[in-house]
Amino acid sequence: MQSDDDIGASRDRVAAQLVGRERELELTFAAVAAGRDIVLEGPPGTSKTTMLRAITAEWGIPLLFVEGNADLTPSKLVGHHNPARVLREDYNADNFVDGPLVAAMRQGGFLYIEEFNRAPEDTLNTLLTAMADRSIAIPRVGTVEALPTFRVIASMNPYDNVGTTRLSTSVLDRLNRLAVDYQDGPAEERIAALRTGASGELGDRLVIDAVAVTRATRAHPDVRQGSSVRGAIDCVLIAEQLAPLRRLADPFDDRYRELVYDAMVVSLSGRIQLDEAAETSPERVLREIWEDHFILLPAAAAPG
């Protein structure tokens, strides 16, 4: 068990690798340091994976990814016997191929299940013993005991209810929960600048505008789920490549606004999910957001 000073130092080293996630990091770090499993509930692109990578790197343990979907069977999660070797040797522990759950238990790593509530109920029930007893019994193999650093970390998107299943009380009772929402504007600007390396007058302006229009997709009445900061990052990167093609280097050039719109169409149109009742298109929604940001808001702010 680490001392309070060691835990604090570890937290500080992990925090240095993140932008604007101090509270969420502290709570997640406290939960996993206490030996607990946790579900991180929030939309994509909110630094959940980045946070877990940083924690496992600090601890020097593996992070094993599993995508939750209808094809995630218990045998894919736990493992299976190699069919070719079974024909030659019959079933035994030596020809068992570890699945991600057993591998995480043996290695003392984090099993990270994305889209947790998309996995079938019988697959999720396979986790119950591993979470409760930190061990699992496998026929013809024996009991696998988890190393002390083994954790189950799950993530769910609260905005997505298509193809999801209702989690049982037994599963929820074994998981702590933390809501991880979008970061604020300044934090997302720092993330976009860091991820793109954008600099100079044009780059700085692109970061501000890309983050602003991306955040606006989350508040548009016709959009069920807007884009994460990844959309802003791609918008900046695409606009930076588009600018020299159009011989545009000045953000005050009259063509700059149209440059941003074209980059928005490519980077954001596939990332926004429209409300089912909305009679519009992603391109039309983005044009409205673009007009609000570049035409209506500047006009409203103009003196007189």
Can you give the chain as a three-state secondary structure string? CCCHHHHHHHHHHHHCCCCCCHHHHHHHHHHHHCCCCEEEECCCCCCHHHHHHHHHHHHCCCEEEEECCCCCCHHHHHEEECHHHHHHHCCCHHHEEECHHHHHHHHCCEEEEECHHHCCHHHHHCHHHHHHHCEEEECCCEEEECCCCCEEEEEECCCCCCCCCCCCHHHHCCCEEEECCCCCHHHHHHHHHHHHCCCHHHHHHHHHHHHHHHHHHCCCCCEEECCCHHHHHHHHHHHHHHHHHCCCCCCCCCCHHHHHHHHHHHHHCCCCEECCCCCCCHHHHHHHHHHHHHHHHHHHHCCC
CB 137 within 8 A of CB 126: no
CB 179 within 8 A of CB 42: yes
Q: What is the pLDDT of residue 158?
A: 79
Q: Which residues contact 105 (CB under 8 A, 6 or more apart)?
A: 130, 134, 135, 136, 144, 145, 146, 147, 150
CA separation, residue 234 to residues 6, 192, 219, 270 (Å): 38, 9, 20, 12
Q: What is the pLDDT of residue 213?
A: 98
Place of tokens 């079974």: 86
**Chunked in runs of 10, what are the mean pLDDT values of the chain (304 residues)?**
67 84 90 94 89 92 94 92 79 85 96 92 91 92 94 87 75 93 93 95 97 97 94 98 96 95 98 92 97 81 50
CATH of domain 185-301: 1.10.8
Q: What is the pLDDT of residue 301?
A: 52
Query: For residue 73, which amino acid is it?
Result: T
Q: What is the pLDDT of residue 197?
A: 96
Topology agreement, domain 4-179 and domain 185-301: no
Q: What is the pLDDT of residue 10?
A: 83
Q: What are 106-136's pLDDT values in tens digits?
A: 999 999 999 998 999 889 999 999 999 999 9
Rounded Cα–Cα distance for residues 73 and 123 (Å): 6
Q: What are the residue boundaries of the structural domains of the chain, listed by start?
A: 4-179, 185-301
Topology (CATH level 3) of domain 4-179: Rossmann fold (3.40.50)
Q: What is the pLDDT of residue 226?
A: 95
Rounded Cα–Cα distance for residues 97 and 24 (Å): 35
CB 252 within 8 A of CB 205: no
Residue 48 β-bridge partners: none
Rounded Cα–Cα distance for residues 43 and 155 (Å): 9
